[in-house]
Structure 1
Amino acid sequence: MKAITIFLCLLLLGCTSEPLNVRYYLLHTPLNTVNPLSDKTKPVAVLQPLKIADYLRQSSLVLQVDDHELHFSRQDVWAETLQSAFYNALLQDLNSTGQRNYLTSSAPEATVATMAIQVQLDHFHATDTSKVVSSGRYWLTANHANVSSNKMLATSAHSFYFESELTQDGYSHGVKQLRKLIGKLANQIEKDIAAVPNS
């Protein structure tokens, strides 16, 4: 009987412990400047909806702790879906290059696009070796005017892999470094589009 009483007391103490302190992280934050209306003289490119790996579809931030093992944080989570946040951040970074008007596929001006971009994100996380990594593939599809009914033709496929060192502890620093990797991807996409004939 004494053992049961001690067990119940321990159980009640466990129920009164502090709740999990959840921290939410934003990957995409708005700029503090208002962008002017799109420059009509620039070519239009459309960023198609992002495809992401299945393990990135949940809200927890991910830490790779071994070659084949991932840790999903229960208290460090994305404030919005990674698919949406990454897409919005990439669209913002592409438009900051100033070479083209990058739009969503639902934008009215998307019908006059000369280029479409499809991105597949395979990895986007921190590692236990003090790095953040981002990798995947993207496809550039050019709209050739000489093709009947404005059919879009695939022109090139590209792989990407970016990493950055972590100089501080904590997920907050990791998220800042991950955000910088999106800018590197935007720069690579822009260079590859510029290399496509008649882009």
Structure 2
Amino acid sequence: MKLWFITACLALAVGACASAPTTQYYRLSDTAYRLPATQKSNVVLRVVVAEPLKGQNLLYQTDAHTLHFAKQHLWAEPLDIAIRNQLANALNQQNRPVRFVPPSLQNNDTPELTVYIEQFHGRFDGQTQIEGYSVFKHQGKTTAGSNFSVLTAQQGDGYAAMIDSLSTGLQQVATQIAP
């Protein structure tokens, strides 16, 4: 009887170790900031993410009221920086009269575009959702602002397809937020 019990415990312990899930890390598609070569006036781009998005976990909305925080599917870098870099690259590709730069290139008189991300996740209906608003400030005064809401169809299943869809959605956000 003792031998049977010890064998069963060992089998359970070995089985538990063998089935431990692996953690996967994800990045948005265009998170390496590229400084445009053109000499234009700078606008500092800042991104502020809502509290639920500040963690490392990817989010998935499982029904109309429930968000699921993934445990083994995590962001490989801080989400606010990844979104900022991808948005800056997208904005700079739009041939605007200014270039969007990270806060490290700010001086005392640099205008500032702050993008607040309130929703950034996959959804149960096969879409990804990005919502928020932007505020443009110059010399301490708010001069413009706008809301944005983008739903993007997810092509395929899984977290990688969700990340691709979110990246596509950020391209659409870039067209809506520029002052």
Indicate whether the TM-score tops 0.5: yes
Gaps of 5+ in 1: 144-150, 194-199
- In structure 2, C-alpha distance between the alignment counterparts of 1:11 and 1:93, rounded to whole Å: 51
Query: How do 1:37-186 residues align onto structure 2 when only pairs under 5 Å count?
Result: 37-39=37-39, 42-48=40-46, 50-99=47-96, 100-107=98-105, 110-113=107-110, 115-141=111-137, 143=138, 151-186=139-174
Return the offset for 1:25: 1.0
Return the offset for 1:105: 2.5
Gaps of 5+ in 2: none
Q: Taking every aligned residue pair, what percent have the same amino acid on both sides?
A: 26
TM-score by length of 2: 0.85
Return the offset for 1:58: 1.4
SS in 2 for 1:160: strand
- In structure 2, C-alpha distance between the alignment counterparts of 1:169 and 1:79, rounded to whole Å: 20
Alpha-carbon RMSD? 2.3
Return the offset for 1:7: 5.5
| Paired residue total | 176
TM-score by length of 1: 0.78
